[in-house]
Amino acid sequence: MQGKINCLLKYKGLGEPLDIDMYMANDGYKGLKTAVDNMSKDDILDEVDKAVLLGRGGAAYPAGRKWKQLMAINTNPKYIVCNADEGEPGTFKDRDLIKYCPYGIIEGMTIAGYVFDSPRGFIYIRGEYRTLQQEFQKALDTAKAKGLLGKNILGKEGFDFDITIVSGAGAYVCGENSALLNSIEGKPGRPRVKPPHLAEVGLYSLPTLVNNVESFSCIPVIMRMGGDAFREMGTETSGGTKLITICGHAKNKGVYEVGLGTSLKDILYSEEYGGGTASGMPIKFVHFGGQSGPIGFPEQFDIPYDYDSMKKAGLAIGSGAIVVMDESVSLVEYCMKVTEFFVHESCGKCTPCRIGTERMLEIFRKLIDRKAVPEDIDKLKELGDMIRLTAACGLGQANNVALNNALAHSRYEFESCCKRIETWN
């Protein structure tokens, strides 16, 4: 199925988001009840697997595989962690889910709690979402008062699960799953060296499941409709729907839910979605999936928006961010802003990421000041590649994804910023 689908966002506008009766009157908690009453834990894992739910936090790791890997680990207890850090620029879809569909997230985490016999879950919510944290706490309290969190959930003896909110404090890197766990533990929010993987040594050194807000929100839907039906809202290899955030110079900015496999051209140009640019100028380029994602150019847009097709075209879905830039934007200045972001957000643990991004920024400044020579562009690329190869985490590894796309497509734009060397008298 393709096009707009109102599945995860169906509660938006349906009523008061914190009204649990409204949620329950509209399929809410049917997923948990189905899982607990009618399915074995292996059945639940099989349905998540069949759904082909690829992690919605950005890395697209299959949820079914992650859940089965955690199940295979015998150490207990296990922790359930929801990543609501949403620090990726251009991404604001988890905000909508927390605001309009809090019980969907709680239900998804509770199903995970049931599957893994976990006593406790944590949701790490971006510090800037302070008001949403307070609203979410009310949803947790209401669910608890209804017997849907706490002890003997659904009246089932021994099914105990509770959720605690932890606030982020503004660091992008704390969205990286191991940095996030360190931050929950009260340590500096720096990524851990992996392996060991978090499924084995996670929160407080215990096995831990970390999934994104949108991934958890899909779980009750999968339990309700079955893994096959969920997958069919998308494509064979990219199951379900995806929340996308269209922003930048797009005419119709906002959060949209689309079946995976929807035409990317439609998403960018049709009035139903982005509608081209607000200025009426042509789209010059689009930055997909956040600062760590690739930049794409109009000749690449005639493809379906699903994980496979985007990857084949050299693009990516990532977090679902779609930052549209019109012809008024300098690609060089844009890439410089991306590097500024990485300089600011590097946690400093690895020297190449900490220092190298600064050196890259210096070259960008030379380019902007028309003081660079073409060799500086090669140096820029070399530095980015070196940081990528030596980085301990995904932040450094993705520092130059956008830059490399930009250079491969439009090196002339970088060269045109170099100082003029007069070759005649």
Ligand X SMILES: Cc1cc2nc3c(=O)[nH]c(=O)nc-3n(C[C@H](O)[C@H](O)[C@H](O)COP(=O)(O)O)c2cc1C
Binding site for ligand X (CB under 6 A): 55-59, 61, 83, 85-88, 172-173, 175-177, 210-212, 215, 393-395
**Choosing among ligand SF4, ligand X, none, which partner's interface includes residue 136 (Cβ < 5 to 8 Å by kind)?**
none
**Closer residue to ligand X in complex, CB, 87/261:** 87
Residues in 396-425 at the binding interface with ligand SF4, rule: CB under 6 A: 396
Q: How far is the CB of 2 from ligand X (least distance, A)?
A: 22
**Choosing among ligand X, ligand SF4, none, which partner's interface includes residue 142 (Cβ < 5 to 8 Å by kind)?**
none
* By CB under 6 A, residue 180 contacts ligand SF4: no
**Closer residue to ligand X in complex, CB, 85/257:** 85
Number of residues forming the site for ligand SF4 (CB under 6 A): 15
Q: How far is the CB of 315 from ligand SF4 (least distance, A)?
A: 23
Residues in 341-400 at the binding interface with ligand SF4, rule: CB under 6 A: 346-350, 353-354, 391-393, 395-396
Q: How far is the CB of 398 from ligand SF4 (least distance, A)?
A: 9
Q: Write each residue from 182 to 201 as x if it is in contact with ligand SF4 (CB under 6 A), else as -, in one continuous string.
A: --------xx----------
* By CB under 6 A, residue 148 contacts ligand SF4: no
**Choosing among ligand SF4, ligand X, none, which partner's interface includes residue 211 (Cβ < 5 to 8 Å by kind)?**
ligand X
Q: How far is the CB of 348 from ligand SF4 (least distance, A)?
A: 6
Sole binder of ligand SF4 in the list 173, 310, 325, 331 (CB under 6 A)? 173
User: What's the distance, Cα to Cα, between the start and end of the chain in Å?
Assistant: 65
Q: How far is the CB of 82 from ligand SF4 (least distance, A)?
A: 22
Residues that bind ligand SF4 (CB under 6 A): 173, 190-191, 346-350, 353-354, 391-393, 395-396
